């Protein structure tokens, strides 16, 4: 982050930001609070749950209907 924010040359800035965004994307799994591919909304109290399409994370948690 410090290296990227220290780049002031307009020609080099997009390259530095791209590198930082790739690093953050790769380290995202270390920053999450849960696990990947864990079952959500599969308890006996859950009646319906419709997650958002194309979301690779547990989504629409407010859309869960309980008994």
Q: What is the DSSP string of the chain?
A: -HHHHT---TTTHHHHHHHHHHHHHHTHHHH-SS-TT---S-STTEEE--PPTT-SS---GGG-EE-
Residue 9's pLDDT is 92
More confident residue, 27 or 33: 27
Q: What is the CA radius of gyration of the chain?
A: 19
> For the segment 28-57, what is each residue's pLDDT rounded down to a tens digit?
765 555 555 556 667 888 888 888 777 766
Residue 41's pLDDT is 64
Task: Give the span between the Cα atoms of 60 and 49, in whole angstroms.
Answer: 8
Residue 1's pLDDT is 83
Mean pLDDT of 18-26: 85
Q: Map tokens 């990227």 to a residue.
A: 4
Question: Whole-number mean pLDDT of the chain?
Answer: 79
């Amino acid at each position: 982050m410090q290296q990227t924010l220290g780049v002031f040359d307009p020609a080099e800035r997009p390259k530095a930001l791209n590198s930082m965004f790739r690093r953050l994307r790769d380290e995202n799994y270390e920053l999450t609070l849960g696990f990947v591919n864990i079952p959500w909304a599969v308890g006996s109290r859950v009646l319906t749950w419709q997650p958002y399409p194309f979301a690779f994370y547990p989504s629409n948690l407010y859309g869960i209907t309980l008994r």
